[in-house]
Amino acid sequence: MKSILLTTLAIVLFTACNTNDDPPFDYSELNDEEIQTYLETNNLDAEKSSSGLYYIIDELGSGEHPVSTDRVKVNYEGYFTNGNLFDESDETGVSFFLDQVIYGWREGLTYFKEGGSGKLIIPAHLAYGSYDNGSIPAGSVLIFDIELIYVNYKTENEAQIQSYLIENNLTAQATGTGLYYNIDTPGGGIVNPTDSDNVTITYKGQLIDGTVFDQSTSPASFNLQNVIEGFSEGLTYFSEGDVGSLYIPAHLAYGNQQLSEIPIGSVLIFEIELISVN
């Protein structure tokens, strides 16, 4: 079933296309009564926020709480208080920025940590208000069973790197930041750069699927303060003459930004030869 959660643009278009001159109806009291009845009927205990959102935390999770600017991946099922299903993700979940979804989701997911699961019970004023939206009638209370799979790619990127190493029979050293690196051919040098040094290298950058997005055609020189965090950290593990690879998760690269041929949330792999320092 096609997801209907990514609604910031849809809400704008729907409002612009609305030809009903009547003012929006406030369903808040009716919705709250409906939610209270639903909770009592199903013997559920939920927290209510100041906005009118209800939420139930079955598992808090052990990662980080998302904020409104984060990108998250969620497995979910959406239904009405009568139990009728109106939307669901596939088993792998769906990724989106929290500032792109209905307000009830934007607020509700911040109560969970990565790996958490539970239920959001969203009144109409935090969803589609007094207007129909596809199969959702005006004034509807929306209920979502959710699992917050990850926040900003860290968990998924870690799994991607591990799978890549196993599939290609590679070994790499993990650092405390999430970066992985390996030295294939030691160069015999004794100088390691600091994260503020100038270096000269040759390199090739590719994605997990093998797509090459950048490579040097001749030795390239730059200051490590001027490159992505994973590259800056990674080069400090190399000595002059070393040849090896860096496996950089998105939070140490371009994160939630789309950059030319690099999709949002991508792991970056660099094959590097460190020619000289300073």
HSE-CB for 94 with a 13 A CA cutoff:
18
3-state SS class at 93:
coil
Whether the model clears a pTM of 0.75, i.e. scores above it, the answer is: no
**Distance from C-alpha of 123 to C-alpha of 28, rounded to nearest angstrom:** 7
* pLDDT at residue 189, as a whole number: 85
Which of 5-19, 119-133, 151-165, 191-205 comes out lowest in average pLDDT? 5-19
262 bridge partner residues: 259
Instruction: Label residues 220-257 b or e (16+ Cβ within 10 Å = b).
Output: eeeebeebbbbbbbbbbbbbbbbebbbbbbbbbbbbee
Q: Which of the residues are catalytic?
A: 76, 86-87, 102, 128, 144
Quick: pLDDT tens for 224-237: 999 999 999 999 99
* pLDDT at residue 222, as a whole number: 94
**Distance from C-alpha of 55 to C-alpha of 188, rounded to nearest angstrom:** 59
Domains and CATH numbers, the chain: 8-151 (3.10.50.40), 154-277 (3.10.50.40)
pLDDT level of residue 20 (50, 70, 90 thresholds): low
The fraction of the chain above a pLDDT of 90, given in percent, is 74
Read off the pLDDT of each residue in 96-123 and give the average, rounded to a whole number: 95
Quick: pLDDT tens for 155-176: 889 999 999 999 999 999 999 9
Alpha helix locations (H) across the chain?
Answer: 8-17, 28-41, 103-108, 154-167, 229-235
Place of tokens 């926040």: 151
How does DSSP classify residue 261? Answer: T
pLDDT level of residue 134 (50, 70, 90 thresholds): confident
pLDDT level of residue 64 (50, 70, 90 thresholds): confident
Quick: pLDDT tens for 94-105: 888 898 899 999
